[in-house]
Structure 1
Amino acid sequence: MARILIAEDEDTLRNLVVRALTQDGHDVVEAADGAAALDILGRQRGQFDLLLTDIRMPLMDGIALALSAARDYPDLVILLMTAYADQRERAHGLESLIHDVITKPFTLAEIKVAVQEALDSRNKA
């Protein structure tokens, strides 16, 4: 299965998504904010198949994280999450760098499908 890095500042949601994706057989690493995720990416030399990140987080938001990750690890598939329309608008124009933006709230089935679609896009590239 895939190696996935999740950056989400909301503990409950992060834990839920980590558990769901782990049950699907993925190797999941978690970070509570963008700065921590960027640190993990650097220490692991970008050895992830997917970055799943919230847009709105403290220290470093998901847009800044996505821009840095895409620059340093161009083969990394990036999937953004947000509950805010204005944050979704901020992601507009990043289509060449990100796979998609998922709107919160979502069901576990929806996030699993979105993750699988993002991973499948990597295999087609």
Structure 2
Amino acid sequence: MRKTKKLVAGALMALMVSAAVATTAQAKVIEASRSGSYAYTNNAQERVYSKDTVCDNLFAAADWRSSDGSSGRVTNKDGCGKTVSIRVVYSPVYVYEIRACRSNSFSPVSCGDWES
């Protein structure tokens, strides 16, 4: 009986540890920058932020990719020094890559490297 209790207790402990690791594996902020743009996520990697860091009449954007295969862009046309954010996914899905971009209405978007 004692061996069975120890075995069950050990199995439960292993399950709890693996669940904790799985839920905290993506619990970090991802950051990316490009001249004039700063993109980042929240710790849960469910919200994407785009900040315009330069007053140059260009707008900032943040491209994102998520664990379920979806992707998108958060565009910030609010102007210099402003930050916009959007919750783009819901748990258990999370954003795993972002990149910061710059553009204006007449030119193509120029983006930095993907960061994870």
Q: What range is the shorter-chain TM-score in?
A: under 0.3
TM-score by length of 1: 0.24
Query: Greater helix share, 1 or 2?
Result: 1
Query: Greater strand share, 1 or 2?
Result: 2
TM-score by length of 2: 0.25
